[in-house]
Copies of this chain bind each other. A is one copy, B any other.
Amino acid sequence: MRTLNVDLADRSYPIYIGEGLLDDLRYFEPHIRGRQVAIVTNETIAPLYLDRLQKTLAGYKVTTVVLPDGEAYKQWETLQLIFDGLLTARHDRKTTLIALGGGVIGDMTGFAAACYQRGVDFIQVPTTLLSQVDSSVGGKTGINHPLGKNMVGAFYQPQAVIIDTATLKTLPPRELSAGLAEVIKYGFICDEPFLTWLEAHMDDLLALEPTALTEAIERSCAAKARVVGADEKETGVRATLNLGHTFGHAIETHMGYGVWLHGEAVGAGTVMALEMSHRLGWLTKAELDRGIRLLAAAKLPVVPPQEMNAEHFLEHMAVDKKVLDGRLRLVLLQGLGGAVVTAEFPREILEETLRADYQALVGQAGEH
């Protein structure tokens, strides 16, 4: 078991990483204030892990809320089911919500905790690689709106994040790769040596080798914790975590939520950000190729969807949250490990990036 601390101005919390933590009350107990606990999960995760967690928390008055599964349900009507469950069982301000599931469950449970009686405690128990290395760290919570992803939410920190690496055994391979997109991202934005480590251990990670998994999760969470600790409300450096996300969100929105997994869209989006950085002269061709090879080794899509053209991308990117005062800001790389957030690029470079032949680029990258 490894413990990491996320340091924030007014609030800090630990992340525990290890096998079998789901069955160990010692990781939960110090972070539960009252006698009431509500476990929020979904129909896919409930049959796998709900009983075990209920057994661990048998000493508390436990309410369970089982939501439908999927990004399409990350919206108000589903959130309301959490409030209904809490109010029906008369949970008071000292209750603790526990999010058992992936990013959607974590985001909705965190937002419910932020809003219920104007704020109660919550604990994250992420069961997907993506949520373990990304959404469970940093306090972003919220729901989607028909006109945009994550448009309604709060910055709200958990009391603790408890990562049981054994839960990845039930994760579909496509979702494992999607999680690896965010793992690789940390190397690109701020940790070049981590890229070398990932190149050496990608096969172990895909085979769920426990030591490699723990190392990758810890290093990813540490990178994110460092960045979030420096900039909780995303006024500066935190925005670098969105490498590949502006392009990726355009893909998710255009294809319809859930058709491409978030991590898959980030994978292809990251290739576009690398391509644009190279086009600006900020990355060498060798660095671009190295990046594409690593993403492809994680079995991620490295080519944007064929049905999308440059105009589609521009249209979707105009409502992205990263637009301030009408100027599009993008996360780009000045060397591997050196992310910058900038609106200082010629419009033509962006358009050329959107029109580039990614199939050909991937072919060239593979030739090394």
Nearest Cβ on chain B to A9's Cβ, whole angstroms: 8
Produce 1/0 per residue, A34-64, CB < 8 A to B. 1100000000000000000000000000000
* Of B34, B114, B116, B324, the contact of A151 (CB 8 Å cutoff): B116
**Which of A86-94, A160-168, A169-177 is the interface stretch?**
A86-94
**Which of A140-148, A215-223, A276-284 is the interface stretch?**
A140-148
Q: Cβ of A148 and Cβ of B87 under 8 Å apart?
A: yes
- Cβ of A155 within 8 Å of any chain B Cβ, yes or no, is yes
A152 to B319, CA, bound (A): 28
A residues 321-355 with Cβ under 8 Å of B?
321, 323-326
A residues 111-126 with Cβ under 8 Å of B?
114-119
Q: Cβ of B323 and Cβ of A151 under 8 Å apart?
A: no
Q: Cβ of A325 and Cβ of B34 under 8 Å apart?
A: yes
> For A142, what are the chain B residues with a Cβ–Cβ distance below 8 Å?
115, 118
A95 to B94, CA, bound (A): 34
Name the residue among A88, A93, A324 with the largest chain B CB count within 10 angstroms. Answer: A93
Q: Given contacts A321-B93, A325-B35, are A119 and B155 in contact (CB under 8 A)?
A: yes
Q: Given contacts A34-B325, A35-B325, A323-B92, are A151 and B117 in contact (CB under 8 A)?
A: yes
Nearest Cβ on chain B to A152's Cβ, whole angstroms: 5
> For A80, what are the chain B residues with a Cβ–Cβ distance below 8 Å?
76
Name the residue among A83, A118, A119, A148 with the largest chain B CB count within 10 angstroms. Answer: A118
| A88 nearest CB neighbor, chain B only | B147
- Cβ of A210 within 8 Å of any chain B Cβ, yes or no, is no
> For A190, what are the chain B residues with a Cβ–Cβ distance below 8 Å?
none
* Of B76, B140, B154, B233, the contact of A114 (CB 8 Å cutoff): B154
> For A119, what are the chain B residues with a Cβ–Cβ distance below 8 Å?
154-155, 233
- Cβ of A203 within 8 Å of any chain B Cβ, yes or no, is no
* Of B35, B117, B321, the contact of A117 (CB 8 Å cutoff): B321
Q: Cβ of A118 and Cβ of B93 under 8 Å apart?
A: no
A234 to B103, CA, bound (A): 31
* Of B84, B154, B233, the contact of A147 (CB 8 Å cutoff): B84
Q: Given contacts A83-B151, A147-B87, A151-B83, are A325 and B117 in contact (CB under 8 A)?
A: no
Name the residue among A87, A319, A323 with the largest chain B CB count within 10 angstroms. Answer: A87
A92 to B327, CA, bound (A): 11
Nearest Cβ on chain B to A185's Cβ, whole angstroms: 21
| A233 nearest CB neighbor, chain B only | B119
| Nearest 6 Cβ contacts at the A-B interface | A87-B147, A118-B153, A115-B152, A118-B155, A117-B321, A83-B145
